[in-house]
Amino acid sequence: MSIVLASASPRRRELMQMLGVRDLVILPAVGEEKAGRALPPDELVKALAAHKAREVAEKCEKDDIIVAADTIVWHDGQVYGKPHTEADARRMLRGLSGDTHAVYTGVCVLRGGQELLAAERSAVRFRTLTDAEIAAYIATGEPMDKAGAYGIQGRGSLFVEGIEGDFFNVVGLPLCRLGLMLKELGVTLL
């Protein structure tokens, strides 16, 4: 039996290792994300996570446990994905400045015929940023591969006054929830 992480995210891999998971197999889903963008955010991330988990499950052994997740930043009724350009990142960071947004992560855990699916929400409060701070942050390169154009576990921490909810959900994997889901499928991390 292996735990298979259906994600290419180095941050999710590090979180699984932080939990002491041994024999972790990394097998990212490659299919297009097909969930309808019209769904509410919690339904959207659940649909995307389930899609990834089911795709990867087809390449795995029957007893393997597949973990998939999808994270979005949600602000003013819009999904903030990964920025395509620096101008994109600047626009997102200006939008988040001085305001509270939500981060949703959907998690799907599959084993044999069993499928568990959940979504977790965290609120993140940004302090007011100056254009100079936004420019300096973009120059570090940190925003470019991250939903919402910031990393809370990096220099983006300097912008975050506080959160409400699971911190690791903002990083990309709600660990407390994931631990309970794995337990339900017979895997004890503690």
Minimum distance between the CB of residue 179 and its own copies, rounded to whole angstroms? 4
- What is the number of residues in the chain? 190
For residue 34, count CB atoms less than 10 angstroms from its CB and return exposed for 0-12, middle for 13-18, buried for 19 or more.
exposed
Q: At what angle do helices 86-96 and 131-139 cross, to 10 degrees?
A: 140
Closest residue by Cα to residue 124 from 82, 86, 153, 89: 153
Nearer to its own copies, 31 or 162 (CB): 162
Nearer to its own copies, 79 or 160 (CB): 160
Nearer to its own copies, 59 or 183 (CB): 183
First to last CA, the chain: 18
Minimum distance between the CB of residue 51 and its own copies, rounded to whole angstroms? 26
122 and 170 Cβ atoms separated by less than 8 Å: yes
Instruction: By CB under 8 A, name the binding residues for its own copies.
Output: 18-20, 122, 127, 133, 136-137, 140, 152-155, 157-168, 175-176, 179-180, 188-190
Q: Is 70 among the residues known to form the active site?
A: yes
Nearer to its own copies, 68 or 171 (CB): 171
Minimum distance between the CB of residue 157 and its own copies, rounded to whole angstroms? 4
Could you say which of 42, 64, 70, 166 is catalytic? 70
Q: Where are the alpha helices (DSSP H) in 3-140?
A: 10-18, 41-57, 86-96, 131-139
Minimum distance between the CB of residue 158 and its own copies, rounded to whole angstroms? 4
Catalytic positions: 70
